[in-house]
Structure 1
Amino acid sequence: MSERLTPGSVTLTQLRAVFAGAPVALAPGWQAPVAASAQALAVRLEEGVPLYGVNTGFGKLASTRIPAEGLAQLQLNLLRSHAAGVGAPLPADVVRLVMVLKALSLARGASGVRVEVVEALLEMLALDTRPVIPAQGSVGASGDLAPLAHLALVLVGEGEAAGPRPAPIVLGPKEGLALLNGTQVSTALALTGLFAAEDALRTALVAGALSTEGAKGSDTPFDARIHALRGQPGQIRAAAALRALMSGSALRESHRVGDPRVQDPYSLRCQPQVAGACLDLIDQAAAMLGREADAVTDNPLVVEGGEILSGGNFHAEPVAFAADILALAMAELGAIGERRIALLMDPVLSGLPAFLVRDGGLNSGFMIAQVTAAALVAENRALAAPRSVDSLPTSANQEDHVSMATGAALRLAPMAENLANILAIELLCGAQALDFHRPLTSAAPIEAAHALVRGGAAHWGEDRVMAPDIAAVAALVRAGRFAALAAL
């Protein structure tokens, strides 16, 4: 079933569906404002008004006037000269989301392009045309110029693409600039990171609850009265999710009375505080990216009354900040998860066999799986360093402050992959710990998580190759199978 998207009123739920491959259509009514903006631009051109990037050069060359006979060539030259990206191609699902965001932005009717340009983008989506867009080359200001140039070239019959191509179009005044100017690449990459972070947070709650059960930890720290006294919304929601995951556990009841431990280590006890703070960051990023996905981010813009204004909506600072806070959340979810893995390995803290295996010494159990998790945590910590504070001037200092949003968003995918593997290792360890407490059973959601793990990896009775087990459970993490067990 196709997603019918209304420019300016698109939801993150719709964009998730689009990212997953749902067909796309625009809601009726977008053509009139688009045509009106193109007409307003044509009128101003006839008046001979200097318009940036329409009848002038670009960047530092903005003071150079272009004669009427060179306007079409100007737009084509822009695409060719700016297609300077390098590196591996962006994934096809990200490119598809970029095209959708670009079509939505142009369909707002503030960019001065013709209806045919938007229709050409929609045709590429319908044909499953997949432009090859190198990942590197944007600093996240003046728009994602280089990557969007590689996309736009396909519209004019040039560039690289997989799949069938639409009939090429001839660009009118400003249309090349409108296609290149905008934050659609950085936004699509950040949205991809957002979707992964949302799933990872739910998975982390499931993994944390499973580890708590495996370590015979207490659910008292998740009591609603504790979190109400602090008032942090994410913390309150995370605690509620943990209570729901552990409600009705026979294993928990078995040690409610007589357990000599007064308090669990922080990695168990402070889960609502850490996961809740991460949840608040993810929600903040979602709000920022939701607005950006709906936005018009090129320049100059045709505003109400037909006036054409130059501004800076292409500066992707909101996207850079959103990506940075998503990176912080992902790094912390992995960091506390690795500490729970280490706790389960330690018989002094967990009361379980060392490294979660019988016949320790002869068997090493999960010893090196924890080392792998530690390596991934260290990598994510390095990747989490903020990118939004790092600006390098470009275009002979005309573009003297840039956001670095595209690089900030690009690093989210490897961070999400690292986090999926950390969570997979924790889920494997938690399931192994639960096995040692049989025949006692946990709550229904925890037992469902245990069954998912065991569907991909058998109980660890003696040493075997660990990597396939991690890969199998990580695939379930990426597919959202564990995330579906946690309600937020």
Structure 2
Amino acid sequence: TQVMAAIGALGLLQAERLCQQADVIAAASVDALLGTPTAFDPLVHILRAHPGQNKSANNLFNLLQNSPLRESHRNCDNVQDAYSLRCTPQVHGAVRDALAYARGVLEIEINSATDNPLIFPDEDRVISGGNFHGEPLAIALDTIAIAISELASISERRMEQMLNPALNRGLNAFLAKRPGLDSGFMIIQLTAAALVSENKVLAHPASVDSIPTSANQEDHVSMGSVSAIKLLQVLQNVNDVLAIELIINMTALDLRKEKSSPAIENVKSLVRNSIPALEEDRVMQDDIKAASKMIQDAAILKVLGLTLV
């Protein structure tokens, strides 16, 4: 049980950081796609009072303020974008709310006594019980895995919007400098799709399983250690998928004439300091590793120039 709690606490903190950074990365993709931020207007979200949704919407709305790129198409006829852009607060927000539930479970757990038997010296009693059972943790950790997988799922769909010439509003296919000769970012989208698909398997809840041992004395177990171990892999996969989106949307922004918002331009400067623009096809393993480390270290949050919720 202590192992589940320890891994779960670390995983929760990582998941919460991913939520904030997913908002930043999504905002950059919205701007790169000439999307409209009107769907992030606070008036929309106060009518549906899910806390996570309102936090993500607030982040996206603020991240896109003062964007010359946004102003360049303010009077276009685009009313609403694809779900992967327009519904980002609803999806990211649902993830946040799931993490809030898991945080509540973990905070109780790490401040609890889960030994067996339990010793009550003031009452001069020794009581055998079941506080060691990991079911609360197992369900919470499975919830984190299911929820956080959605950040990667919607991220990969935003990649499709940027790479597909039928959807990306004037950019080259796969953002290749030499379409037809170069593959651009086609292959790293395949990497993202593979990771998203792997998460579909890993997100299957371990807590619905059980196997009896110890002559059927231990006849129902939580499988929470399995939940904890696979959560770590889910988190790494999500981290890598968001890193791939970051690489792609920074290039899409490079290809637009106008600059994005100050916050997003700060992120672009950070990325370009370690990941050069794609001039021709190259092995992108090091690019993904560099972007993934930025996200793991929460580096993009440190350069924004504004505070997210």
TM range (shorter): over 0.9
Matched with 2:239 is 420
* Contact 1:202–1:482 (CA under 8 A) maintained in structure 2: no
* Contact 1:192–1:413 (CA under 8 A) maintained in structure 2: no
Indicate yes or no: 2:199 matched with 1:380.
Answer: yes
Q: Deviation per CA, 1:300-331: give whole Å up to 9, x if none.
A: 11234232211100001111011011101221
Matched with 1:359 is 178
Tell me the secondary structure at the aligned position of residue 424 of structure 1. helix
User: How far apart in 2 are the matches of 1:381 and 1:305?
Assistant: 50
Which of 281, 293, 298 is equivalent to 2:115? 298
Amino acid at match of 2:308: A
Unmatched runs of 5 consecutive residues or more in structure 2: none
Which of 167, 185, 200 is equivalent to 2:18? 200
Tell me the secondary structure at the aligned position of residue 287 of structure 2. helix
Matched with 2:64 is 246
Indicate yes or no: 2:274 matched with 1:453.
Answer: no
Q: CA deviation at 1:262?
A: 2.3
Q: CA deviation at 1:279?
A: 0.3
Within-5 A mapping of 1:145-224: 183-224=1-42
Which of 409, 413, 422 is equivalent to 2:228? 409
* Contact 1:236–1:272 (CA under 8 A) maintained in structure 2: yes
Matched with 1:477 is 295
Q: How does the TM-score come out when normalised to structure 1?
A: 0.61
Q: Deviation per CA, 1:49-75: give whole Å up to 9, x if none.
A: xxxxxxxxxxxxxxxxxxxxxxxxxxx
* Contact 2:148–2:235 (CA under 8 A) maintained in structure 1: yes
> How many corresponding residue pairs?
304
Matched with 2:148 is 330
User: How far apart in 1 are the matches of 2:262 and 2:108?
Assistant: 38
Q: CA deviation at 1:413?
A: 1.2
The structure in which a higher percent of residues are helix is: 2
User: How far apart in 2 are the matches of 1:307 and 1:239?
Assistant: 53
* Contact 2:70–2:260 (CA under 8 A) maintained in structure 1: yes
Q: Deviation per CA, 1:10-40: give whole Å up to 9, x if none.
A: xxxxxxxxxxxxxxxxxxxxxxxxxxxxxxx
Q: CA deviation at 1:247?
A: 1.2
User: How far apart in 2 are the matches of 1:452 and 1:408?
Assistant: 35
Matched with 2:89 is 272
Q: CA deviation at 1:482?
A: 2.2
* Contact 1:369–1:425 (CA under 8 A) maintained in structure 2: yes
* Contact 2:116–2:130 (CA under 8 A) maintained in structure 1: yes
User: How far apart in 2 are the matches of 1:452 and 1:285?
Assistant: 32
Indicate the percent of aligned positions where both proteins have the same amino acid.
46
Amino acid at match of 2:201: A
Matched with 1:5 is none
Tell me the secondary structure at the aligned position of residue 349 of structure 1. coil
Tell me the secondary structure at the aligned position of residue 206 of structure 2. coil
Q: CA deviation at 1:358?
A: 2.0
Q: CA deviation at 1:243?
A: 1.0
Matched with 1:15 is none
Which of 234, 244, 248 is equivalent to 1:429? 248
Q: CA deviation at 1:460?
A: 1.1
Which of 293, 308, 311 is equivalent to 2:129? 311
Amino acid at match of 2:95: C
User: How far apart in 2 are the matches of 1:420 and 1:479?
Assistant: 11
Matched with 2:308 is 487
Which of 73, 78, 83 is equivalent to 1:261? 78
Tell me the secondary structure at the aligned position of residue 60 of structure 2. helix
Amino acid at match of 2:46: A
Q: CA deviation at 1:371?
A: 0.5
Q: CA deviation at 1:241?
A: 0.8
Tell me the secondary structure at the aligned position of residue 388 of structure 1. helix
Q: CA deviation at 1:394?
A: 1.4
Q: How does the TM-score come out when normalised to structure 2?
A: 0.96
Q: Deviation per CA, 1:401-429: give whole Å up to 9, x if none.
A: 11011110111111111111101100001
